[in-house]
Amino acid sequence: MTLMMIINVISVSAQEDWNLQKSKDGIQVFSAEVPDSKIRAIKVVATYNASPEEIADVVMDINTASEWVSHLKSSYLIKRVSQNELYYYAEVNLPWPASNRDFVAHLTRTENMQSRTITIDGPAVAGLVPEKKGIVRINNSVGKWIITPLDNNQVRVEYALHVDPAGSLPSWLVNMFSGETPMQIFENLRQELKRSDQQTTTAMVLSNNAK
């Protein structure tokens, strides 16, 4: 399956066959079959008390990713092309006896100036970092964040993902756990937003006291 076909499949606007897999605390996880793939696509939907820019800034901040992205062992910035484009490396912890996975992703952030909707695309790319012994490299993965402003300083966040984990992981095992990890990540994102907001408030207070 080509990259463009996968992108079309996981596109929130194009995919009509999403099935609700899990729902908790306002976070919904959906799955959908992908043609020519044994691995299902995943979509997560949630609403947060934040601005689109706040959500996008957290997603684009590779330095803090390990604080809210579940099972992320390590990550680092490879290259920042601009404020809205970067490449980064990440290693993901998997339970024994499975080998850890790693990947290089290319993040691009675009904003619709009229609707203020922010889209962040994050496909995996090959060739930027040599493969490491004992770690399985993921080269086929596409993900997309769609961050849409609502009333009362709220945003609707949609994240769609389809990944080929490579190696010998059975598809049934990947699909069985595909609902739990996205749920954890979106729960952690809510806490990360609160922490970031508290840090901003503290910095403002300290700045005002110093004047």
Beta-ladder partners of 105: 88, 124
Beta carbons of 129 and 104 less than 8 angstroms apart: yes
DSSP string for residues in 73-123: EEEEEEEEEETTEEEEEEEE---TTSPPEEEEEEEEEEE-TTT--EEEE--
35-83 pLDDT tens trace: 877 788 899 999 999 999 999 999 999 999 999 998 899 999 999 999 9
In terms of pLDDT, which residue wins out, 97 or 211? Answer: 97
Instruction: Report the distance separating Cα 17 and Cα 156, nearest Å.
Output: 20
pTM (two decimals): 0.84
- With CA atoms as reference, report the closest residue to 185 among 40, 104, 65: 65
Other CB atoms within 10 A of residue 67 CB = 15
Sign of CA dihedral 192, 193, 196, 201: negative
Instruction: Report the distance separating Cα 34 and Cα 137, nearest Å.
Output: 21
121-147 pLDDT tens trace: 999 999 899 999 999 999 988 999 999
How are beta strands 141-149 and 154-163 bridged, if at all?
A: antiparallel
For tokens 């066959």, the residue is 17
Sign of CA dihedral 182, 174, 3, 43: negative
For tokens 């799955």, the residue is 31
Task: Give me the mean pLDDT over the 144-151 stretch.
Answer: 95
In terms of pLDDT, which residue wins out, 159 or 12? Answer: 159
pLDDT of residue 198: 58
Tell whether the model's pLDDT for residue 7 goes beyond 90: no
